[in-house]
Amino acid sequence: MSLFKARDWWSTILGEKEEFDQGCLCVADVDNSGSGQDKVIVGSYKGYLRIFNPHPVKPGDEVQPEDLLLEVQLREPILQVEVGKFVSGTEGLHLAVLHCRKLCVYAVSGTLGNVEHGNQYQIKLMYEHNLQRTACNMTYGPFGGVKGRDLICIQSMDGMLMLFEQESYAFGRFLPGFLLPGPLTYSSRTDSFITVSSCQQVESYKYQVLAFATDAEERQETEQQKLSSGKRLVVDWVLNIGEQALDICVVSFNQGVSSIFVLGERNFFCLKDNGQIRFMKKLDYSPSCFIPYCSVQEGTVNTLIGNHSKMLNVYQDVRLKWATQLPHIPVSVKVANFQDLKGVIVTLSDDGHLQCSYLGTDPSLFQAPKVDSREINYEEMNAELKELQKIIREATKTQDILPESDKLRDLTVTAEVSPDLDAESQAIESEVKAEAVPSVTVKITIQSRVTAQKPSLAVCVQAPLAVTCDQFVFDDLEPDSSETVVVSVFLKGNCSPSELEGNCMVLYNIPTGKRPE
């Protein structure tokens, strides 16, 4: 557990019994306000789309209603939300919402309110595409090097990449050797789609190769026809990472070399554009999500990695720089800029805990009071010290609650073992198979010099030996009185004893003569 906790800047709980996953969170200036202030867009598997504009609240205060800009139910589960330039004829940002069998692109706009209820926000459907195959995830970017607009690529559950040039469907291609869908991203530097296949290897496909490869509708062609057509889809490069991947991301900061980050089940990889490993970090925990967010030093990249222990770790390449505790397990993490604070960490849990937090500590507002300056009187201090030492000595003296007795013991116990075996065996319930099991008599005497209340005697011998009676309770013993009991010891178990010694223990109370206060 970390000593440092993520500082709660703003948080809320979304709905009731709703489920969320990795693609359900996005941060962007989706309403094109031009202020550079991000909005938080969240979609749920119940079909609810919410857009928030967080504002800081005091600890203990609830989220203000005006922080929720928009809440609408789209009736179908929302798999992923993204913001980009998805509408032709404009470079404004629009919201793309991926459903299982549909892709919808919306324009989000706000209207200034004239009353105390504030601004009014609404979404307008720009266009939608009905999908012939069940979608898994999507990515977007300037495919083919186009300027001023973003195209969308959707990966289906059966391994087909469906590409859309905004309002129109472009083409679809099946990935070779496909079994299960994995994370998908786009690298604008190499104009490639990068995914992690079920063979546990990172694969890169050029957009131009996808465009000129055999069309998905011609998949039923024979292998001979594919070879003769020359349009077979081939991979650009492959890297075996030996584990399944949770997420994949391509980043490039400050016009530097772009890097491909892959979050595996137990390792964290950074690759070059050609698939060579730049570095890798073995993780000693189970990660849940990640995001490379900035480069604070030339040649390095800072990354946030969340895990299932409710921790959020900050890495600079492979070096751990900070670790902080979260109140939930994050399934998605983003970094956003708001009006009052830049670099806010936005996390979302699978049960709808949405939190905006920051690292570090709050400034302390406590100021130590001024100490009255006075001269030290050493004589008074010495006198006070001697008085305290006297009190300590008196308190540490051992005070016996029992009356002091002489050097002789208050109670003595003696045991006398008969030198001869019993003439008639006293053995009972013995396991030894013999006509007569020998026994020996032991006489135990208790003698008390003081008043002993409720004395009791316990006789113990090691197995396989046993005694005819091992517990005795007596009446109170007066001073200089005694009690005698006789027991017999015999062999009960069918084996040789390892020890012939026994113990006698007496428990009793002695009156102190003091009344309880």
> How is 371-437 classified by DSSP, letter by letter?
PPP----HHHHHHHHHHHHHHHHHHHS---SSPP--SS-SEEEEEEEEEEE-SS----S----SS--
Residue 516 has what pLDDT? Answer: 44
Residue 94 has what pLDDT? Answer: 94
Residue 517 has what pLDDT? Answer: 42
d(CA 394, CA 399): 10
Residue 340 has what pLDDT? Answer: 72
Residue 36 CB burial class (10 angstroms; 0-12, 13-18, ≥19): exposed
Residue 365 has what pLDDT? Answer: 54
Q: 220: which residues sit within 8 A by CB, 6+ positions away? A: none
Torsion of CA 378, 382, 388, 392, to 10 degrees: 140
Domains of the chain: 4-214+233-363 (2.130.10.10), 411-509 (2.60.40)
Q: DSSP secondary structure string, 262-309?
A: EEESSEEEEE-TTS-EEEEEE-SS-EEEEEEEE-SSTT--EEEEEETT
Residue 370 has what pLDDT? Answer: 65
Residue 224 has what pLDDT? Answer: 42
d(CA 311, CA 118): 37
Residue 399 has what pLDDT? Answer: 55
- Output the CA–CA distances (angstroms, integers) from residue 295 to 213, 292, 300, 359, in the order listed: 37, 9, 6, 17
Residue 383 has what pLDDT? Answer: 92
* pLDDT digit string (tens) for the chain, length 517 residues: 445 788 888 889 998 889 999 999 999 999 888 887 899 999 999 999 999 988 877 665 667 778 888 999 998 999 999 999 999 888 899 999 999 999 999 999 887 765 555 678 899 999 999 999 999 999 999 998 898 899 999 999 999 999 999 899 999 999 998 899 999 999 988 999 999 999 999 999 999 998 887 665 554 444 444 443 445 688 999 999 999 999 999 988 766 678 899 999 999 999 998 899 999 999 999 999 999 988 778 778 899 999 999 999 999 989 999 999 999 999 999 999 987 788 899 999 999 999 999 887 665 555 666 666 667 888 889 999 999 999 988 887 755 555 554 446 788 888 888 888 888 888 887 878 777 788 899 998 988 888 888 889 999 988 888 888 889 998 888 888 888 999 998 888 888 888 888 889 898 888 776 554 4
Residue 212 has what pLDDT? Answer: 85
Residue 45 has what pLDDT? Answer: 94
